[in-house]
Amino acid sequence: MQLTAPKFDDAEIDQLRDCLNSGWVTQGPMTQKFEELIAKRHGVKHALATTSCTAALHLATMALDLRPGDEVVVPAFTWVTSAHCAEYVGAKATFADIDLATFNLDPAAFEAAITPKTRAVIAVHLFGLAAPMNEIREIASRRGIAIVEDAACAIGTSYRGQPVGGLGDIGCFSFHPRKVVTTGEGGAVTTNNDAIAAIVGSVRNHGAGGPRIIDDEGAGPWTMASYDRLGYNLRLSDIQAAVGVAQMGKLDALLEERRGLAAAYRKRLSGISDIVLPTEDAGHSYQSFVIRISDGGRKRRNAVMAAMAERRIQTRPGTHAVPALGYYREKYGIDPGQFPNAVRAEDTTITLPLFPGMKMSDIDLVVETLSKALASL
């Protein structure tokens, strides 16, 4: 049984056919349509599609003008590019521990990690559950710190009734195949700030600006764009955006299905004392359904995963304790033990299969296999 899978049908084929028939396959009208759908769904003024969420996070740190000497607070349990994006621009990723119940940033740990050099915080909505944004915003506002929402897992996620992606200064989304909505590879930056949107729009397109008018020649077919800043090619193609347009049309149905599957898991797993279930929240999009083994540590967790693999059930750990990874441990001499919740989360989490079209019999098989493995170990 696969861990996850995208859901494609004739809707994607129809949008792709329209795109190919138009003859416009690089960033263009289909990308604009995809961006408008994202912006409308997440209640923001601007959505700018990119090649990946990694690219979106990189663009976010550039748009905030982060540079060497600056520090960015990052949850210690997250995908590695939540931290890498600070390093890309020469800033320093510093870490704060998580709340083990939610796997998201602990506001008290965030405040304790702030120094006079802190300029931004990466608020990760991990596995589709929104971070505690009210507390994060209160701390950040008081200390003059920008907020980047790493919403890689969080298309369709809401926080106390408000869509994520517009709750901080910049939001960053992923459309990787493991996400609820996919374009194969792809991402987006969201913001309500016009100046940030202009920078992101320029930098993702080689640094292009307005028309370059030379002397008194005026504008004409010879006029090209000006390039007054360093940029990259981080544009999403219209081919990918066509898939995204079709996927966005399914978002509500995909979310309803995922929440139903999560509820079925929760009901069947509620009597197993050896595990901790994910935090229940109405705004959770369940990009992943991640449980935690309460006793036995990494060795027992690995044995459980091995037993499930024997039944051809795919699983994986939740994600990384980033301070324990070689780059950060060696560059900054970090002791991962400073972040006990993050380390425990890496060592004891299991991501269970969750995908469109999953049957109740599939969930029964996962739960039965998991229960037997736990009982025997």
Q: How far apart are CA 155 and CA 148, in angstroms?
A: 15
The radius of gyration of the chain's CA atoms, rounded to the nearest angstrom, is 22
CA dist 159 and 109 (Å) reads 20
Active site annotation includes 179: yes
Residues sharing a CB contact under 8 Å with residue 10, sequence separation 6 or more, in sequence order? none
The single-letter code of the amino acid at 279 is T
The closest alpha carbon to 173, from 49, 11, 15, 347, belongs to 49
Among residues 45, 117, 179, 299, the one annotated as catalytic is 179
CA-wise closest residue to 181 among 129, 239, 252: 252
CA 77, 78, 83 angle in degrees (round to 5)? 105
Instruction: Using alpha carbons, list the distances in angstroms from residue 125 to 105, 151, 207, 230.
Output: 9, 5, 30, 30
User: Encoding tokens for residue 135?
Assistant: 């507390």
Give the chain's count of helices (H) and strands (E): 13, 16
Distances in Å between the Cα of 15 and the Cα atoms of 9, 21, 25, 176, 250 are 11, 10, 12, 19, 13
Q: Which active-site residues does the annotation give?
A: 179
